[in-house]
Structure 1
Amino acid sequence: MHIFEGNLRQSGPQYLMNLNRSRFKEQACQTGILLSIATGFAIPVSTTLTSILSFGVLLCWVISGQYLVSFEILKKYRVSAASAVFFSFLMLGLFYTPESFSIAARNLFKYRQFILIPIYLSFFLDPKARRYGIQMFEVAMVITLIGSIYYSFWPLIGMDDPFINRSIFKNRITQNILMAFLVYLAAWKFLEKPRRRWPYAILVLVATFNIIALVPGRSGYLAMVILVCVLMCQKFGFKGLIPAAICIGGIGLLAYSQSQIFKDRINQAISEVNEYNASKIRHRGVDLRIEFYENSLYLAKSSPIFGSGIGSFNLKYQQLMQERKQISTANPHNEYIMLLVQNGGIGVCLFLGFFWICWRTTRSMTGLDQALGQAILAVYFVVCMVNSLMLDTTEGNLFGYLVGVTFAGGISCVGQNADSQLPEPSDKEIMQPIMRDAA
């Protein structure tokens, strides 16, 4: 029995079709696919459920022998190889970090999405599985949207803080980032077939209202801006930046004049930046971030090539803060700076290299796989400059999951190129197995 019971013949390349396995292993593989699809729902809803499902996916991956598929993909698909190389370099940091092994290993585990990417790639080869995986994420976010709107207008007793009662399963920053992806998916599907998919337009408006007017998460604002630009460029090329700018400017002005939450968050950010050099007291979001960046870059000077080792940031930063008498942190809120301190310039280059390889790979992809893949890369590439998204559990899991779902669609393209280079079998080679079976 072939992998996916023959589905791979239609969706996967020839080099993944030569593995035969028992019925039990095939059932384990199908279970792994179902668990992978369910993970799309769990990530926005529950960290515990996500961890359980991820462990189940890993277990099915081993039992079913799907690791052989991942190994074949690793040899021929650069996205999988780049992910494995980046994580392997992070592992090297365990050997020279000044932090204890247990703490360093926990820090390394936060980058587990780069190990899960090759696993998800092997389970999402079927286009139906990819479609269901994205739909499960959309369902979870629609439930989140409904709950967020409900608690905005009918808050729970004793929960009057708008920072609390408008975010449901995750914190306000995480929810807004995830909600921005729901807006993108709904907008993309609406623009594909506007007359048949008009309910998606309503979903876009409601989810956008939730992000801007109800949940005060500035990272979500930034993600929305990026996704609008990406979507317009995907539909109209670089000329799409003009309608994107008009759309962003119009929504921004409307939100600033009508939404007190949006206005307060924007004004706060502007005032914190203006007051950074005028005051030595830093106790709020933006000014603290700038202080974290400056101190972290100072730490990176001690080992600019290889860094000080995985998990070492907190230890190094605390030592520096004892000298400078400033607020300590375990997270600089910038993924690139975190990697620079812990893994040096090589770690940053490998991280950027992964993004570059993924972006080039999207050129050979089509449909929603290509569109969502580019959207993911654009958002994480930019927002990682103001948040350590790979260290955050939900954002990190979402990145690994969506990369696995979307870029699995590019494996068939690689397979077609590989299959086209295979020599045509001769009549003798075709007849040999037939005669052997007949005997």
Structure 2
Amino acid sequence: MPLYTGMDLMHIFEGNSNQNDSGDFGYLNRSRFQNLAFQVGVLLAILTGFAIPVSTSLTSVCNLGIFICWGLSGQYRVTFDCIKKYRVVTISLIFFCCLTCSLLYTPEALSLASRNLFKYRQFLMMPIYLTFFINPRARWRGIQMFELAMLVTLIASMTCWIFPIEGSLRLMDHAIFKNRITQNILMSFLVYLAIWKFLEHPARRWPYALVAVIATYNVLAIVPGRSGYVALGILIGLLMYQKLGVKGILPATACVGLISLVTYHHSERFQNRIDQVVKEIKEYRVSNKSRSSVDLRLEFYENGLQIAKSSPFMGSGVGSFAMKYRELMEQKGQLVTENPHNEYVMLLVQNGIIGVGLFLCFFWVSWQTTRGLMGIDQSLGQAVLAVYLLVCMVNSLMLDTTEGCLFGYLVGLTLAGGVTGIKTTQQEDLLKSMANHQSQEEPAREAA
């Protein structure tokens, strides 16, 4: 990837994909040092795509470096203008500010509440990532680095399956860098990207079809992460909808159903996981006693909704879920948890209807933004939003470090493609207003 040469005046809001820089939605004059900081920030942003699926520590180091480069290079000026002119950045920061304000009334200790707030840092990092991914080549490299990390994970996982390794539970589940739930969710995105690239040029990109088949088998038959099953089904359905429109809904349903049926009859691991879900739901309805993952989740949801009734609009404050749940369990004598495994229940308890509303508003604004994008930016952006919107119903994805970081990273990366269209829209509005003004002046001149 060529390094960026941005020492002179550079303008990016002309719809030219070869532009490399931005600032104040116009010109940004950098010193040599600032330009170097910007280049380092871009490289770190691209490297983050590899770091997130592989190492939490490396991800933290990259994020720290990106934040420093964001300040030193002057890219903060781009972010500040985006707050005023790019709705997705605005709603992202409003949502985080809402969470921050709840520190004022949380019953939890400030140190613990702040730690919980920090788990939502992806809503702060997303506008920062965005400023380093304005160049389409940088976005493409960021996606490639994520694919590379997942290919390494896939190869290692298949190797552990073929040559079993006795050791930790993670290796027995054939999960490599992350736990089985996280790996399966991330692997589902590799399946999506591989199929998307294959469909773009089937004759030239046939290896992507092979990767998609192997990765799908890894998700469904090898690594026992049921959230990955859900994510994979969502992505297959969405991809067919993106390619075929409304006509793709029925084939997508048939395709997901057929894959599930074949896997159920040929994979004992997949069959056991599905049977366990059905069994636990039935037993919970009959006895209302929880023993394992699914029925425990149902218990967490039920108790969480009960807690939320005490403060439905503003919630109990960020970080308060564990304390409130512990107090309720002292009365009920049930299992205590700090995580309800449902992002909406967590937000409802801690930030009320306002928090949940802003969270959903972020997804709506982001989805509307993707409709103005093209190519992989639009497709992958919608894929990320669809998966997180639905899988957050069975997991607190924003609280999980890897899933949360990946969300901020991929949303920032893909929606950066929409920044170059902002000035064009503004220019059109300005031209329209000037034309209206001139049309009003002409009759007056004629009368004069």
Q: TM-score w.r.t. structure 2 length? A: 0.91
C-alpha separation in 1, matches of 2:8 and 2:241: 36
1:326-341 alignment to 2 at 5 Å?
A: 326-341=334-349
- Does the alignment pair 1:321 with 2:329? yes
Which residue of 1 is the match for residue 100 of structure 2? 91
| Pairing partner for 1:393 from 369, 376, 401 | 401
| Pairing partner for 1:168 from 154, 176, 183 | 176
- Does the alignment pair 1:144 with 2:147? no
The structural deviation recorded for 1:110 is 0.1
1:36-435 alignment to 2 at 5 Å?
A: 36-158=45-167, 164-422=172-430
CA displacement, residues 207-249 of structure 1 (integer Å, 9 cap, x when unaligned)? 0000011000000000011001100000000110122112111
C-alpha separation in 1, matches of 2:331 and 2:171: 34
C-alpha separation in 1, matches of 2:164 and 2:171: 12
Q: Is the 8 A contact 2:8 2:30 kept in 1?
A: no
Amino acid in structure 1 at the alignment position of 2:61: I
Secondary structure, in 3 states, of the residue corresponding to 2:271? Answer: helix
Which residue of 1 is the match for residue 438 of structure 2? none
Amino acid in structure 2 at the alignment position of 1:253: L
- Taking a change above 3 Å as real, the CA distance of residues 219 and 163 of structure 1, as seen in their structure-2 partners, is farther
The structural deviation recorded for 1:277 is 2.3
- Taking a change above 3 Å as real, the CA distance of residues 82 and 158 of structure 1, as seen in their structure-2 partners, is closer
C-alpha separation in 2, matches of 1:4 and 1:262: 57
Q: Is the 8 A contact 1:313 1:342 kept in 2?
A: yes
Which residue of 2 is the match for residue 8 of structure 1? 12
C-alpha separation in 1, matches of 2:189 and 2:367: 18
- Taking a change above 3 Å as real, the CA distance of residues 264 and 165 of structure 1, as seen in their structure-2 partners, is closer
Q: Is the 8 A contact 2:8 2:29 kept in 1?
A: no
C-alpha separation in 2, matches of 1:137 and 1:367: 18
C-alpha separation in 2, matches of 1:247 and 1:90: 40
CA displacement, residues 149-181 of structure 1 (integer Å, 9 cap, x when unaligned)? 00011122345x587340000000000000000
- Taking a change above 3 Å as real, the CA distance of residues 128 and 249 of structure 1, as seen in their structure-2 partners, is same
Between 147-156 and 99-108, the greater mean CA deviation after superposition: 147-156
* Paired residue total: 423
Amino acid in structure 2 at the alignment position of 1:17: G
The structural deviation recorded for 1:21 is 2.0
CA displacement, residues 284-326 of structure 1 (integer Å, 9 cap, x when unaligned)? 0110000000000000000000000000000110111111100
C-alpha separation in 2, matches of 1:392 and 1:214: 23
Q: Which runs of 5+ in 1 are unaligned?
A: 425-439
Amino acid in structure 2 at the alignment position of 1:216: P
Between 410-419 and 350-359, the greater mean CA deviation after superposition: 410-419
C-alpha separation in 1, matches of 2:126 and 2:321: 25
Between 147-156 and 108-117, the greater mean CA deviation after superposition: 147-156
Q: Is the 8 A contact 1:15 1:415 kept in 2?
A: no
- Taking a change above 3 Å as real, the CA distance of residues 158 and 354 of structure 1, as seen in their structure-2 partners, is closer
Q: Is the 8 A contact 1:125 1:408 kept in 2?
A: yes
Q: Is the 8 A contact 2:11 2:27 kept in 1?
A: no
Amino acid in structure 1 at the alignment position of 2:265: S
Q: Is the 8 A contact 2:82 2:89 kept in 1?
A: yes
Amino acid in structure 2 at the alignment position of 1:384: C
Instruction: Provide the aligned C-alpha RMSD in A.
Output: 1.7
1:14-29 alignment to 2 at 5 Å?
A: 15-29=24-38
Secondary structure, in 3 states, of the residue corresponding to 1:276? Answer: helix
- Taking a change above 3 Å as real, the CA distance of residues 246 and 268 of structure 1, as seen in their structure-2 partners, is same
Q: Is the 8 A contact 1:7 1:126 kept in 2?
A: no
Secondary structure, in 3 states, of the residue corresponding to 1:202? Answer: helix
C-alpha separation in 2, matches of 1:230 and 1:323: 44
- Taking a change above 3 Å as real, the CA distance of residues 278 and 231 of structure 1, as seen in their structure-2 partners, is same
Q: Is the 8 A contact 2:34 2:74 kept in 1?
A: yes
Q: Is the 8 A contact 1:35 1:57 kept in 2?
A: yes
The percent of aligned pairs where both chains have the same amino acid is 57
C-alpha separation in 1, matches of 2:89 and 2:8: 20
The structural deviation recorded for 1:250 is 1.3
C-alpha separation in 2, matches of 1:3 and 1:81: 29
Q: TM-score w.r.t. structure 1 length? A: 0.93
- Taking a change above 3 Å as real, the CA distance of residues 235 and 169 of structure 1, as seen in their structure-2 partners, is same
Amino acid in structure 2 at the alignment position of 1:277: R
Secondary structure, in 3 states, of the residue corresponding to 2:316? Answer: coil
C-alpha separation in 1, matches of 2:364 and 2:23: 27
Which residue of 2 is the match for residue 427 of structure 1? none
The structural deviation recorded for 1:2 is 5.1
The structural deviation recorded for 1:393 is 0.3
C-alpha separation in 2, matches of 1:53 and 1:158: 30
- Taking a change above 3 Å as real, the CA distance of residues 393 and 158 of structure 1, as seen in their structure-2 partners, is closer
Q: Is the 8 A contact 1:163 1:215 kept in 2?
A: no
Deviation >6 Å, runs of 4+: none
C-alpha separation in 2, matches of 1:398 and 1:185: 15
The structural deviation recorded for 1:28 is 0.3
